[in-house]
Amino acid sequence: METITPCECKSNKSSEKFEVNGAFLKISEQIKAGFEGKTLDEAIQYQVSRVRGRHLFSHHLKTVFLSIGMMNRIIDNGGAEEMVKMAEALQTRGIQLIGKAVSQRPKVRAVLIAGPSSSGKTTFSKKLCMALEQHGLTAYTISFDDYYVDRELTPRDASGDYDFESIYALNMELFQRHFNQLLQGEEIELPRYDFPTGKSVSSGRHLRLTPNTVLIMEGIHALNPLLLGSIPDEALLRVYISGLTVAKQDNGTYYGTTDNRLIRRMVRDAQFRNTTASETLARWASVRRGENHWIVPFQENADINFCTSFQYELAVLKQKALPLLKEVPKTDPNYGEAQRLIWVCNRFHDISVDLLPPDSLLREFLGGSVFEY
């Protein structure tokens, strides 16, 4: 049985786990050395299929193998397509290995997925569902949002506004009761939270677990012991995903570890939520405070830590991010931060969005995904 182990190392730049796959250069060298008779896709898929769990999920800190300068040289020399295909294949392989691990643990009835804003939880969950189905399992997604308490019972923050990020905004007692009923083979009716009225209402959706059913649940509180209560550990597989910025300069200096997620969110919200870059930047400090209070402290509870970042992703995101950042006026309090992000994006040479496959996790933010959100 292939063992998947959690990463226990942290970077010196962030309170999040820092796990970066180090197989890129090795696979690249193998492809160039011995696959002249195969297409690029065939060579990548063959080599990536040989990557085992211990190579992707390590106890030891793995550093980034490619600096921005090295990546730019690869891009300039026409190697962007190979780099993108290889990274996408490695990420998919990692998700497939998690699906395999679940299939080998028949007592696991739910995969709990937590991660900070714009770490890619939604696409990760969808791709994990596909990986589970490849092993003969039926994946059923449950939203923690449907377990919100009625709005008048929602706690308030220091400003007096409803604090929907608080764990006490969830009906933990109902969730734990439902989960234990499912484990005992009983049928439950799932709740539905009606956002316009702020009420928990009947959904008409009934669920009973079969031996091949695995629940997929993603949310900011998925690893919090308060939410899980007395649910048996053996019934759960906990996954913490991050979108750490893993880019570094040629001298080995790393960029801020949250830049990827901030730019992902900025690009997504501008396209799909009609939010300006100024508004995203203004809210980011509050988002980070919420993460540090409700998400990051519980990453130690994860069985698996998974980094969803691509080393080169700012080379793709910049094409939509730069016009947004340039609209931030000099009078805006976040003008300085916008200029810093412009400088960071301009360190990367362009990679066309067209090189991303339609199921890429980055499509969650850029658009053009095969998945519905």
pLDDT per residue rounded down to tens, the chain (373 residues): 333 333 333 333 344 444 444 455 555 556 566 566 677 777 777 777 777 766 565 444 344 567 899 899 999 999 999 889 988 998 998 899 999 999 999 999 999 999 999 999 999 999 999 999 999 999 999 989 899 999 999 999 888 888 988 999 999 999 999 999 999 999 999 999 999 999 999 899 999 999 999 999 998 999 999 999 999 999 999 999 988 887 888 887 878 889 999 999 999 999 999 999 999 999 999 899 999 999 999 998 999 888 899 989 999 999 999 999 999 999 999 999 999 999 999 999 999 999 999 999 999 999 999 999 8
Is 26 within 8 Å of 67 (Cβ atoms)?
no
User: Which residues face 304 on adjacent strands?
Assistant: 239
Structure tokens at 365: 């933010």
Q: Please state the length of the chain.
A: 373
pLDDT confidence of residue 28: 59
Reduce the DSSP state of residue 24 to 3 states and report it: helix
Query: Helical H runs in 184-330?
Result: 225-228, 259-272, 277-294, 313-326
Sign, CA dihedral 131-362-8-285, equals: negative
pLDDT confidence of residue 238: 95
Is 155 within 8 Å of 168 (Cβ atoms)?
yes
pLDDT single digits (tens) 224-261: 999 999 999 999 999 999 888 878 888 878 788 899 99
pLDDT confidence of residue 187: 96
Reduce the DSSP state of residue 50 to 3 states and report it: coil
pLDDT confidence of residue 47: 75
Distance of alpha carbon 105 from alpha carbon 353, whole angstroms? 38
* Full-model pTM: 0.85
Sign, CA dihedral 162-168-173-175, equals: positive
Distance of alpha carbon 264 from alpha carbon 321, whole angstroms? 8
Distance of alpha carbon 311 from alpha carbon 298, whole angstroms? 26
pLDDT confidence of residue 8: 33
50, 106, 179, 213, 237 from 234: Cα distances, Å: 29, 9, 13, 15, 8
∠345-351-355 over CA atoms, to 5°?
Answer: 140
pLDDT confidence of residue 10: 34
Distance of alpha carbon 154 from alpha carbon 211, whole angstroms? 36
Structure tokens at 305: 């830590």
Q: b/e for 319-335, b at 16 or more Cβ within 10 A?
A: ebbbebbeebeeebebe
pLDDT confidence of residue 67: 85
Other C-beta atoms closer than 10 Å to the C-beta of 249 total: 12
Other C-beta atoms closer than 10 Å to the C-beta of 273 total: 10
Q: Give strand ranges (E) for 117-242.
A: 138-143, 188-194, 199-207, 213-218, 236-242
∠216-86-315 over CA atoms, to 5°?
Answer: 90
Is 315 within 8 Å of 351 (Cβ atoms)?
yes
Is 181 within 8 Å of 215 (Cβ atoms)?
no
